[in-house]
Chain A
Amino acid sequence: MQGFALYPFDPPSDIAALRTDLRAWLAVNQLQGDLVARANCWVSFDAGFSRALGAAGYVGMTLPARYGGGDRHPLERYVVIEELLAAGAPVGAHWIADRQTGPLILRYGSEEQRERYLPGIAKGELYACIGLSEPGAGSDLAAVRTTARETAEGWRINGQKIWTTGAHFSHIMLALVRTEEGSERNAGLSQLLIDLATPGITIRPIIDMAGHHDFNEVFFDDVLVPHGALVGERGQGGQQVTAELGLERSGPERYLSSHALLVALIDAAGADPDPAVATLIGELTAEMWTLRQLSMSTAAKLAAGEDPMVEASVVKELGNAFEQDMPRRVQAIVTSGWDDPDDLAKLLRALLIASPSFSLRGGTREVIRGIIARGLGLR
C-alpha cells in the first residue's frame, strides 16, 4: 500500500450527465411512501421498481450488449449504484443478481448459461440468491457439506443452506456444494446454478429480530439439476467464491445503506443547528466523505483488473463501524423517543435494530480484520 496515492476514479463518460439523468428518472419513478424501507434500502424488495430500472438501462449495466447488458464501464455502474443508495431506492430485488451473480456468470459461466440468465438479470426481472452458509458452515465456508453427485441424468443435490437472503423471491441460487465424495475442505467444492423451481427444494422463512423476512432456510431433497448447472471449474468453487466475496466488500452500500438517517438528522437540525448537533453532523460527514474516497479508489482498482482484497476489507470494516455508530450517536443527541411518529424517530429505531447485522453479512468483523492482518504481513 503506497501511503499517498489514491487510485484515480476516472470513468470514460460524462458522469455529471449520468447523475442528472438518473436523478430525474428517480424523481418520477421512485415511490416516496415507505420511509423505513429507504433506510437499509439494498434489502428492500420492489419488483416493479427493479423492472422499471432495468427497462431504463440501469441494471446489468456492465454486461455485454449481446446478453442484454448496457456495455457500460464498471465505474459508470458505480456512480449509478451510489446515486440509487443515496436516494434510498428499493434495489433489493435485483441487488444480488446485478452485483454478483451476473458478473460471476459472465466470468465463469458457459455460453448456454450466459444466454439463458443474463438477459433476465439485465431486465431487472431475474433475481438470484447466494447459497453459501449452512448450519455447520458460516465464516468457515470450507466446511460446506451439501453434496451434489454426478449421475447420468445430471447432478443430484442433497443438503441444506441457511441464512439465504432473498431465496423466497429469487429464481436462481448460485450454490457452493461438495461435488467430490469424501473430499475435505476447499478441495472438492464446486458452484452450481440451481433453478429454484426444481422439484425437491423447500424454502422456509426465518424472521429476523426486526420482524422482517429476508433470510431463509433452503432444503435440497434429492434435487436433480442438469449437467450444465456447473459454473466454472469443477472443484474450484472455493476459489471462485473467495473472488466473488471480494467484489461485494467495497461497494458504496458499505457506507450509504443507511444514508436516509443522516439526511433526516440534517433536515431536523435545520439551517442553524444547535452546536452539539452541528458537531455530530460534522463528524459523520467527515467519516462518510473519507469512506467515499476509499470506496471509489477501491472500485477504480477493481475496474482496472487489480485485486484490492485488503483495501476492500478496509472499506467494509470502516463502513460497518460508521453505520453501526451513526444511529447510536444520533440517538444520544436527539429528543425523538423510541415510538415517536416522526421520520427521524422511525429511521432511528429501524437502523438501531438492523445495525447488528452490518458487521455479520458479507464476512464477519473478525474475519475481515483477519484478512487485513494477513495483508499487513502478520499471521
Chain B
Amino acid sequence: MSAARDMLCDTASAVFTEAASVGIGPVEDAGFGLLLVPEADGGFGGDWGDVNAVLWIAGHSVPDLPVAALILSGLGDVDPALHAAATVSLMAGAMGQALTLSIDHVNTRQQFGRPLGKFQAVQQSLAVMACEVRAVEAAAAALAARLDATGGDALAAGFEIAAAKLRANRAVGVVTSVAHQVHGAIGFTEEYDLHRVTVPLMRWRGTHGNDAHWAQILGRQVAGFGGRGLWEAMTARDA
C-alpha cells in the first residue's frame, strides 16, 4: 500500500473514532466529500482503491454513518450502481469487524473449562465464516481496481459491480449467523457491539440491489457472452 493511502487510512481511523460518538460532522469537516474530486478541482484526487480502504474502515467502525454517500456526493449526480460498489466496501469492513469480535470472544469466553475457540466445532464454523469474509474483501478490492481501470465508469465496470455486490450479499447470511452463534446470548444484547455491524449487514444486503436484482443483471449479461465467451470476456477485463 502506498504511503499516501497509509496516511489516508490513519486519518480516516482517527476521524471515524471521533465521529462514532458525535455523528458525521467530523467526517464532513475532514473533507471526505472531496476524496474522489480531482486535485485540479480542489479535491483530494483519490482513486477507488482509496475509497475502498476508507469505506472498509467505515464499515468496521461507523457503519451507521453515511460515509459512502458523503464520498460519492463529491462527484455530483452519479450512477446508482456506484452506490452499490461503495456498499461492497462497507460490507467487507463490517464483516471484518464481525470476525474480529467473534475471534476475540471465543478466545476469551470459557465453557467446560477451556476457551470456546479450543472446540473443533467452533473452529470449523469460524473458518467457514472467515472464508466468506475474505471472499468479500477480495471482491471489494478487485471491484475498486476495475473502477480505477475504467475511470470510475459504472457501465464499463458493470460486470464487476454486479458480481461483487451479489457475492457480498450472499456472504451476509453465513457471516451474521456464525458471528451470533459463537457469541451466544451476549451478542444478542443492546449493550454488546456485535449488532452494530450485523444489523447494517442485514440492511445493506437489500440496499442498492438485492440478490435477485444483481443476479438477473449479471446472468443476462453472461448469457449474452455465451458459454465460452464468459471466460474470454472475464480475462479481457483484467486491469
Contact = CB atoms under 8 A, between A and B. Distances in A.
Please indicate whether A and B come from the same complex rather than being unrelated chains. Answer: yes
A314 B160 contact: no
Interface residues of B, number: 63
Interface in A262-287: 262-267, 269-273, 275, 277-283, 285-287
A293 interface: yes
B124 A369 contact: yes
B166 A314 contact: no
Contacts of B162: 282, 286
Interface string B47-67: 000001100100010000000
Interface stretch (B14-22, B25-33, B73-81, B220-228): B220-228
Interface stretch (A2-10, A131-139, A150-158, A176-184): A2-10
A259 interface: yes
Which of B56, B93, B141 has its CB near the most chain A CB atoms (within 10 A)? B141
A70 to B, nearest CB: 21
B56 A297 contact: no
- A contact face: mostly helix, strand, loop, or mixed: helix
B1 interface: yes
B139 A293 contact: yes
Interface stretch (A122-130, A228-236, A238-246, A371-379): A371-379
A86 B231 contact: yes
A292 B141 contact: no
Given A6-B141, A311-B134, A379-B117, A273 B220 contact: yes
A247 interface: no
Given A259-B231, A314-B131, A373-B124, 19 more contacts: A1-B134, A4-B52, A4-B140, A5-B141, A266-B223, A266-B227, A269-B223, A278-B223, A279-B219, A281-B222, A282-B214, A282-B218, A282-B219, A286-B162, A287-B170, A290-B138, A293-B138, A294-B138, A317-B128
Interface of A: 1-6, 9, 15-16, 19, 82, 86, 259, 262-267, 269-273, 275, 277-283, 285-287, 289-294, 297, 311, 314, 317-318, 366, 368-370, 372-373, 376-379
13 contacts: A3-B96, A4-B89, A4-B93, A6-B142, A259-B231, A270-B223, A273-B223, A278-B219, A282-B162, A290-B163, A293-B139, A317-B128, A376-B103
